[in-house]
A and B are shown apart, each in its own frame.
Chain A
Amino acid sequence: QLHLQESGPGLVKPSETLSLTCTVSGDSVSSSSYYWAWVRQTPGRGLEWVGSVYQSGRTDYSPSLKSRLTMSVDTSKNQFSLKLNSVTAADTAVYYCASAMIVFGGAIAFDWGQGTLVTVSS
């Protein structure tokens, strides 16, 4: 079982960049058994996949966020990160990091971080 922990500012101003980091313990972010995902949750939109990053550095982003999103992996710190620029109030959400275990071509979200609330407000 992996342990994941999100960190980052809880308040971001409109038009600025939201930056979050997820620290992983229990396995390496370099493991080929997983890729690493961000999911956000709002009362209005529910649970929404934001994007995923692989140990190779390959990324996949939600089409609705692709133009503003950057994700990366830092193997030296066993972390992965998310940067979302030009934020608006609509980006206010609880952000979760999660592991996606790759099995039979699917990816099962066995482990999640506790989540961090990010509020976009001036």
Chain B
Amino acid sequence: DIVMTQSPDSLAVSVGERATINCKSSQSVLYSSNNKNYLAWFQQKPGQPPKLLIYWASTRESGVPDRFSGSGSGTDFTLTISSLQAEDVAVYYCQQYYNIPSWTFGQGTKVEIK
């Protein structure tokens, strides 16, 4: 199995400031034949299912605000919230879909307001 490890486990950021979450996979999720990274980011608020924010490591899902961005390749990835808003308080997960059908998720990063 591909193990996904996120850091930090939690962070507190002031409204309007940048939040950065890291995700590392135990093996590369870059498929060389198409140069795509099989990596997604999800947002989960209490009592709700995970919501897809980003796929292919950097493609925003329709309707996701552009303050959310994804970057990275191979085994190291980052989710950045450029200007944190109160409604962004949530737990964020990275997920690999390279080794389908088995998905694996990071342990989650809790984002709070400072």
Binding site for B on A (CB under 8 A): 35, 37, 39, 46-49, 51-52, 60, 62, 96, 100, 104-110, 112-115
With an 8 Å Cβ cutoff, the count of chain B residues facing the other chain is 26
Give Cα A93–Cα B52 distance, bound, in whole angstroms.
Answer: 21
Binds A, one of B15-23, B34-42, B80-88: B34-42
Task: Evaluate contact between A114 and B49: CB separation under 8 angstroms.
Answer: yes
Task: Evaluate contact between B49 and A113: CB separation under 8 angstroms.
Answer: yes
Give Cα A110–Cα B10 distance, bound, in whole angstroms.
Answer: 25
Binding site for A on B (CB under 8 A): 31, 34, 36, 38, 40, 42, 48-52, 55, 61, 93, 95, 97-98, 100-108
Give Cα A29–Cα B95 distance, bound, in whole angstroms.
Answer: 24
Contact A109/B102 with A46-B107, A104-B31, A104-B34 known, Cβ cut-off 8 Å: no
Task: Evaluate contact between A106 and B101: CB separation under 8 angstroms.
Answer: no
